Amino acid sequence: MTETSSPTGLERRLDVAVPLRDIEGEVQKRIADLARSAKVPGFRPGHVPVRMVEQQYGPQVRSDVISEAVRNRFNEAVRAQNLRVAGYPRIEPHPSPTKPGEALEFSAVFEVYPEITLGDLASVAVERPQVDIGEADVDRTVEVLRRQHATWNEVDRGAEEGDRVVVDFTGTIDGVEFAGGQARDFTITLGEGRMLPEFEAAVAGMRVGGQKTFPLVFPDDYHGKEVAGRTAQFALTARRVLAPTLPPLDDAFARNFGVASGSLADLRDEIRQNLELELDRKVEAVVKDQALAALRSKATFAPPRSLVDEEASAMATRMAESLRQQGMKAEDVKVTPDMFLPQAEDRVVIGLVLGDLVRNHGLAATREQVRARVEAAAKTYEQPEAVVRWHYEKPERLVEFETAALEKNVVDWVLSRTRVVDRPTTFEALMGPARA
């Protein structure tokens, strides 16, 4: 085996030879087998001349035998040298032999997995949110539920925060309309924050039939790269203004959310329990993101480029499909793997680190951990026992919980080696204001 240079130092070249007599012997054996079962008009089964079978099937059989021989010899050589191959090898055939008894030679170029190394985690600080759910948090959730069940009525006044406004708009840059800058009968709920603040500010105060032209500067980090950092002119027309009428807080309201007693106090208790579950999941996610970021920052190895390329390609495919599902035309979807290379490298590195930690530190998820997560998720349903049974009917339904439990074990391992700083905050600040 000889090595070739690569940016990561992980590339290897393996020279392998397969004797021609082995290949030809296997080819003749398979052709003989085919002759016994081949069906050719004019011949009885099992009586087709071998020469005719070879003429018809020989090239494909020989190609299959060579491919299998190359693959088998490569695998044998890899096992003999105890190599861990990353991705798929690139096969480079040598000039074909011309004399009987010679060997078919080829080179396999591939990458191996790196040695996983981590720097000292002791210098890393992980912030863990500390939140006490109060009555104000429950009050806000009740109001969210009321808004979700509001009735909407047209009003003859300027649009206010909380109103729904149906608008037409057209955006141009340098006098030219741009993709995604036009809409008809588009609904905006003022105060939700789903539009840029400048856009909502322009809509606020508009009455039915009102028209307005205003400039809007797209942020430099705007997701639409074609307009990011540029100034657009928008022409805006208000078609409808609708104000919400919230349902009263009575027994009917409580029963609408499955509270049989109709008690608002019982409804608030259920809301508090759900908020606590939501909080636990959010805190776990925030801490996990920091733990994985810590691992990435202390990973001192370069990943195999082949794995990074595979991940970038997969990410590009998923993004393109997502955009198509949102209604974008294929010719407008310009997504290439190179756009995702930094993120792909991070994912590959983290994946390699996680795999190494799980193998070397016994961090695999236990049955008990998986069960606890399934049961916790089932509590949010009316029949938790049935939900648990459903998940255990098929192994693939447990994958999500197994992954989450494994990640939790890794996070706990990281936290035991970093400085954990408890950071007091509020439920609203942690979860974000827009939860309606």
Helices 50-80 and 20-37: crossing angle in degrees, nearest 10, is 130
Q: What is the pLDDT of residues 166-198, one digit of tens each?
A: 999 999 999 999 988 899 999 999 998 889 999
CA distance 104 to 102: 7
Domain 125-132+260-431 adopts which CATH fold? Answer: Trigger factor, domain 2 (1.10.3120)
pLDDT value of residue 189: 94
Domain 11-112 adopts which CATH fold? Answer: Alpha-Beta Plaits (3.30.70)
Task: Name the percent of the chain lying above pLDDT 90.
Answer: 60
Determine which helix (DSSP H) or strand (DSSP E) holds 130, and give its type and residue range: strand 125-130
Q: What is the pLDDT of residues 50-96, one digit of tens each?
A: 778 788 888 898 889 988 988 888 888 888 888 899 988 888 888 87
**Domains of the chain: which residue ranges?**
11-112, 125-132+260-431, 151-245
CA distance 183 to 166: 10
Q: What is the pLDDT of residues 356-392, one digit of tens each?
A: 999 999 999 999 999 999 998 998 788 999 999 999 9
Instruction: Name the architecture of domain 151-245.
Output: Roll (3.10)
Q: Model pTM?
A: 0.72
Q: For residues 70 and 213, which has the higher predicted lDDT (pLDDT)?
A: 213
Report CA dihedral (420, 421, 424, 427) to the nearest 10 degrees. -30
